[in-house]
Structure 1
Amino acid sequence: MTAVLALAAAAAAAPAQAVPPPVSHVPAYAPDGTRRPFSQSVRAGDMVYLSGQLGTRPDGTLPEGIEAQSRQMMENIAVALRAAGLGFEHVVHCLVMLDDMADWEAFNRVYVPYFPAGQLPARSAMGVEALALGARVEMECQANAAWR
């Protein structure tokens, strides 16, 4: 019993050493190879924060229509998640920005199948006046590597 008390007293007297979680950044690049002024993703401990993704193809062009842009956007998010060693099952929250809220149902038809059945993340959505490059949809996500 005395040994246990001595260990407890020594632990209480030792200075607490806070170890900050590791933070890493994955740079974002334009199709021409120039570095963009933001990171594609930032990992802080188990959390991974993805920058907003558009439905741009690898050459930087946008397909026509909300469904095609939504599908390409989801594929771009899949690439960013894989780069962090994750998948859609790790996504815990998304923020959707639509330039026309009338596209809500068409977007949902594309969005839902990317996630495991019954495991949709929390989500916020907003209608916006305009998106970069004239896109119709943009989405940012947060994922947790320890989730699922």
Structure 2
Amino acid sequence: MLRDYIKVEALTPTVTHADWVYTRSFTAHGTFEQQVRRVLTQLRDAAAAADLVPSRYARCEIVLKDLSRFETVLQLFRELLDAELPTIRLVPERVMHGDAVFSAAVCGPNERVGALQRYETAEVSYPLAIRAGRTVYTSSFWASDPSGLTHDSESALEQLFTAVRAVGARPDDLVKNFVVLTDMDAFEEFNAIYGARVHGMATRPARTSHGVSALPDGASVAIDGIAIIDAEREAVEVPGSDTGLDLPFSAALRADDLLFVSGQVGVFAPDGSYRLNVGPQTTTMFELVETIAAAAGSSVDHYVKATGVVTNPTAWDVFLAEYMHRMPQQPGVLSVYEVSRLSFPAILTEMDVVAVLAAANPTRTTGKA
């Protein structure tokens, strides 16, 4: 595992596209507080290398092994970065190295507009949505009064839609949503609830979803999203990308010069057979993402950010080896973490991507942050 840690340390720290800087995920060793301080320092330094300061952060993704430490993490975040917190995407899950992983999206010179509502804890608060230019990032939403899957799903979705409206966007402007469930056996039931809420949208947002061990307040669902106001949108559908199922999201969504690819898996081979081992699954998954990107006018050379989720340490090893093999120049940043389960038990790994179209080129920062 130390070999993999060294590989991760060598990954591209930041990628810049237009007015946005994306960082890879960072992790560290030590006590819990030492880990958080070291990770936040790495994140801050990576963004600073792109001439951006903590007050410009729009979204921070926090993967946290122990949910009871969430507020401690927020307090350390505010203390170390000496700035108002950005929106928070919370993933209460296992971490491959240590207890917490952070990555961030940082906005450039555009004015930041925060939603009027804020999520309040005992000691800190953070915005439910932040808009910079035409782009909106939201925090994770869950039911504070959980009462079963239907109630929790409707509550999270309504909070998401309310937050994007609060900063001048519409639910139809959503381009990518992230969903986590505490019970993946309820995946199909959730899809029916979710599908009813996005059914009327002209173009369904891309989406990634997976299982987590727990959520705050005992909720069963959490949802967050990205919106681009008045973007030129087009769904990208590729045979095999949705496994033939009628799923309530686009395989990928093209919005202006950006491409948002939904979480893709490699359990279903192009010939209809099943890939049950992690090696073939991972290869098929990468090939599928590449096919979708090509269909939209992009390629691996134009990835801005890839996010991988794995269900065990072996899958992590295989994922990282495949990533480094296919993208030796590391065109984008990478975030990887371990989850309790994906949509079906046989699925061992999943990946989504944000990319730019071939006409636009992201700028990357190479080497260790």
Measured against the shorter chain, the TM-score band is: 0.7 to 0.9
CA distance in 1, matches of 2:306, 2:243: 25
| 8 Å CA contact 2:236, 2:250 repeated in 1 | yes
Task: Determine which of 323, 326, 330 is the counterpart of 1:111.
Answer: 323
Name 1:22's counterpart in structure 2. Answer: 232
Between the two proteins, the alignment pairs up a number of residues equal to 129
Change beyond 3 A, Cα 1:104–1:31: closer
Name 1:147's counterpart in structure 2. Answer: 361
Name 1:37's counterpart in structure 2. Answer: 248
Question: C-alpha offsets along residues 25-52 of structure 1, whole Å, 9 cap, x if unaligned?
Answer: 12477554x5321101111111100000
CA distance in 2, matches of 1:45, 1:131: 30
Task: Determine which of 288, 306, 311 is the counterpart of 1:76.
Answer: 288
Runs of 4+ with >6 A deviation? none
Change beyond 3 A, Cα 1:95–1:31: closer
CA distance in 2, matches of 1:139, 1:83: 17
Structure 1, gaps ≥5 residues long? 1-17
| 8 Å CA contact 2:237, 2:292 repeated in 1 | no
CA drift of 1:60 comes to: 5.2
CA distance in 2, matches of 1:38, 1:20: 19
> More relative contact order in 1 or in 2 (CA 8 Å, sep 6+)?
1
| 1:91 matches 2:296 | no
Larger Rg: 1
CA drift of 1:70 comes to: 0.6
CA drift of 1:105 comes to: 1.8
State the TM-score, normalizing by the size of structure 1.
0.76
| 8 Å CA contact 1:95, 1:125 repeated in 2 | yes
Q: Output the amino acid matched with 1:118.
A: Q
| 8 Å CA contact 2:254, 2:260 repeated in 1 | yes
SS in 2 for 1:113: helix
SS in 1 for 2:251: strand
Calculate percent identity across the aligned residue pairs. 26
Structure 2, gaps ≥5 residues long? 1-133, 135-228, 363-369
CA drift of 1:147 comes to: 1.6
State the TM-score, normalizing by the size of structure 2.
0.32
| 1:129 matches 2:340 | yes
SS in 1 for 2:264: coil
Change beyond 3 A, Cα 1:71–1:147: same
CA drift of 1:137 comes to: 0.2
Change beyond 3 A, Cα 1:31–1:54: closer
CA distance in 1, matches of 2:336, 2:301: 20
CA distance in 2, matches of 1:63, 1:114: 20
SS in 1 for 2:287: helix
